[in-house]
Structure 1
């Protein structure tokens, strides 16, 4: 069985409470906001965009909003609730990035170190340069510079991702590096034999870079990645519900996954497919996808980030490391950015999209400059808004990825475009 990846600024803030009129002026989650979010989540279910939705928002370190509506499993009439386990797909990526940066803080590597310094599996790589029109052979060119660790944290490494691309796609399929039967070492060995699709640092292309981060954590730390992330991120934060493998005793809490068909109906993906990765233990512990979580568990991660790397008396990262991760790392010369512009006026830091400008139109996603966020293939979403000390987690389980769901949720939180404009 094959699984594919979803191709799918920070400020350290004081915790002093606001009182009086100032609190009313600066508060995002008011009673009016709560009613607007309630109405939006209900509408998403009533209109058949999702089977169920749940959302949790913290503001200034306190729970400001929670609501769940609809079904985690519509066919079984199982309600979506706070205890539902969602498959978070690419919301795994920021967790992997944090794990990697704990090693950065220890001086284990520098961001501009060549990847091959630690992973000779990626030495001597070449770049795909098209097909020879006469012979039909693949043309290759040498690297202009090596892949760096910074490249794998910001999706500029150039790893091939399109199995239908003439020539290169055949090599990608034959390598089958992402097969969950592979260990991370086997994955790296296979990836290193496939030519890159562009020169490192020249384009932004979403792909398996974060799986390579997990491999790098394993290689540098000398520990299996699953153990390292558990010991250095998940367990210290109390994220016991965030895991690759869900034991049988908890599998009834896994949300069903739904597919939005072209005719607008929702079709449940069979659990045997939707839950296949998480109901057995595989050799692969991918960095880019694979975790399940609850709203409260993922909120602990988000609260750690908004607090500059600390949560509940535990420090995972230093504030300056979180600031580095949540600062745009893309040069203006990187103009090819796949779907990234659909997220709004954003750049990309270390495993987070980073908002660099306010929304320019009502069609853009609402948000604050300096926020950082990411989402998952089943349309889950989280963001951290340092300006308002706000963190939000949205769980739905719908494919294909729904930008409309995110747009409507963000509008509900921050208000529509004109309202947002009047506040700034």
Structure 2
């Protein structure tokens, strides 16, 4: 949702000891061999040298060994501060999988079923209507949805919530300003529930505030503020000490840059840090966290280990598998820009790869991989087949599919027709 991003501006195998070994900086005979390391170095360096980005870091762990880390360029180009392992970045929508993990912890406890109506737990959504056009007098025609919004709809972006870009509902969405950072999640939900849906639940895939409503549900079902629940049940248990809405040390937060055809311009800090510079009432589930590359890798490694990492169980294996299973039926043909991610469906807060690349233009990846990215072009994925996790950190607008394409090619090697 354009408004959402402008607010913050503009986030399988258990070791026999039940404790995943720490990464080791040793070579493997797997995906990341010496040739892959050389490709990664040259690719990341070229991103900076060609002036596409100011700075970048990448971390890959394969079969519990750290097989690649490097960083190039600057976290703050104007101050000459290098992009490094300790650099904090705004992960934007890579916050979403963390929120989904929180919600699914409550699912495991029997707090809800995925096909329960949202209104069972949030009654303000009981009487939502669907926009059905305008009458001859220019008045909106509203009808009942074909079925209620379910929690599964929230997890796969099929709830029907309207976006600012909607030709008829956009003005209403903008006026409601549901993601204003002064709103609590309860206030956000109350405002959202009064808006007409753009389509009946389940009919389309439309990215937006669904995961923020998930955060609201976490609060309702757990009885704790969303940020407190996530800190106590995910971030602290996994040792993700630097993953927070507001960094303890703002000097570690990378600058943000805007790329045009001819230049790379720094976004003023007062705009880049408008959300992360102070605590706000809004604790969104869809964006907002800052993190380090090692922190986020701990989250990714928990997922590749089917929910348990270094002796701490965050999710059950069957829950991780459910989250990494496509939840979109073929009848959902309207999918916004999701096809730009590759040949994917969508699980529970992750895109899920359904087939191998068919040509050199498609993004590389492995069937069964699940992943997501962030508005400032950050990316992570979990490759269960190869027991590989990868994290790419940059801070560049607009979102860059080409950066992700060349990074994936560097990891797996370019498509060779096989």
Taking structure 1 as the reference length, what is the TM-score of the superposition?
0.93
Aligned partner (choices 108, 115, 119) of residue 122 of structure 2: 119
Question: What residue in structure 1 maps to residue 355 of structure 2?
Answer: 357
Query: Aligned-pair distance for 1:15?
Result: 4.7
CA distance in 2, matches of 1:267, 1:130: 42
Question: What residue in structure 2 maps to residue 273 of structure 1?
Answer: 271
SS in 2 for 1:205: coil
Question: What residue in structure 1 maps to residue 228 of structure 2?
Answer: 227
Structure 2 unmatched ranges of 5 or more? 21-25
* 1:178 and 2:179 correspond: yes
Question: What residue in structure 2 maps to residue 327 of structure 1?
Answer: 325
* 1:408 and 2:406 correspond: yes
SS in 2 for 1:32: helix
Query: Aligned-pair distance for 1:4?
Result: 1.8
Question: What residue in structure 2 maps to residue 207 of structure 1?
Answer: 208
CA distance in 1, matches of 2:31, 2:89: 26
Question: What residue in structure 1 maps to residue 87 of structure 2?
Answer: 84
| CA distance 1:115–1:52, change in 2 (3 Å) | same
- Asked if structure 2 preserves the Cα contact closer than 8 Å seen for 1:372 and 1:385, the reply is yes
CA RMSD of aligned residues (A): 1.8
Taking structure 2 as the reference length, what is the TM-score of the superposition?
0.94
CA distance in 1, matches of 2:6, 2:102: 20
Query: Aligned-pair distance for 1:24?
Result: 9.6
- Asked if structure 1 preserves the Cα contact closer than 8 Å seen for 2:242 and 2:290, the reply is yes
Query: Aligned-pair distance for 1:62?
Result: 1.3
- Asked if structure 2 preserves the Cα contact closer than 8 Å seen for 1:353 and 1:373, the reply is yes
Query: Aligned-pair distance for 1:45?
Result: 0.4
How many correspondences in the alignment? 406
- Asked if structure 2 preserves the Cα contact closer than 8 Å seen for 1:5 and 1:288, the reply is no
User: 1:128-169: per-residue Cα shift (whole Å, max 9, x none)?
Assistant: 11222x2111111111100000000000001011x2433311
SS in 2 for 1:186: helix
- Asked if structure 1 preserves the Cα contact closer than 8 Å seen for 2:256 and 2:395, the reply is yes
CA distance in 1, matches of 2:137, 2:235: 52
- Asked if structure 2 preserves the Cα contact closer than 8 Å seen for 1:6 and 1:376, the reply is no
SS in 2 for 1:128: strand
| CA distance 1:357–1:26, change in 2 (3 Å) | farther
- Asked if structure 2 preserves the Cα contact closer than 8 Å seen for 1:85 and 1:254, the reply is yes
- Asked if structure 2 preserves the Cα contact closer than 8 Å seen for 1:160 and 1:196, the reply is yes
User: 1:268-311: per-residue Cα shift (whole Å, max 9, x none)?
Assistant: 10011101111100000000000000000000000000000001
CA distance in 1, matches of 2:65, 2:183: 42
Question: What residue in structure 2 maps to residue 252 of structure 1?
Answer: 251
Name the stretch that deviates more: 23-32 or 75-84: 23-32
Query: Aligned-pair distance for 1:76?
Result: 1.1
CA distance in 1, matches of 2:358, 2:216: 39
Aligned partner (choices 158, 182, 207) of residue 156 of structure 1: 158
Question: What residue in structure 2 maps to residue 299 of structure 1?
Answer: 297
CA distance in 1, matches of 2:29, 2:342: 23
SS in 1 for 2:143: strand
- Asked if structure 2 preserves the Cα contact closer than 8 Å seen for 1:6 and 1:89, the reply is no
- Asked if structure 2 preserves the Cα contact closer than 8 Å seen for 1:15 and 1:60, the reply is no
| CA distance 1:139–1:253, change in 2 (3 Å) | same
Query: Aligned-pair distance for 1:368?
Result: 0.4
Query: Aligned-pair distance for 1:196?
Result: 0.5
User: 1:250-273: per-residue Cα shift (whole Å, max 9, x none)?
Assistant: 101100011112x33111100111
Aligned partner (choices 28, 49, 54) of residue 52 of structure 2: 49
| CA distance 1:274–1:302, change in 2 (3 Å) | same
Query: Aligned-pair distance for 1:5?
Result: 3.5
CA distance in 2, matches of 1:322, 1:14: 13
After TM superposition, where is structure 1 displaced by more than 4 Å over at least 4 residues in a row?
14-17, 23-26
Query: Aligned-pair distance for 1:3?
Result: 5.5
| CA distance 1:303–1:141, change in 2 (3 Å) | same
CA distance in 1, matches of 2:69, 2:383: 17
Aligned partner (choices 57, 61, 64) of residue 64 of structure 2: 61
- Asked if structure 1 preserves the Cα contact closer than 8 Å seen for 2:14 and 2:306, the reply is no
SS in 2 for 1:41: helix
| CA distance 1:14–1:243, change in 2 (3 Å) | closer
* 1:239 and 2:240 correspond: yes
* 1:13 and 2:13 correspond: yes
Question: What residue in structure 2 maps to residue 20 of structure 1?
Answer: none
* 1:381 and 2:379 correspond: yes
Query: Aligned-pair distance for 1:365?
Result: 0.6
User: 1:9-58: per-residue Cα shift (whole Å, max 9, x none)?
Assistant: xxx336589xxxxx999600001100100000000001111110100000
CA distance in 2, matches of 1:228, 1:107: 17
CA distance in 1, matches of 2:141, 2:29: 58
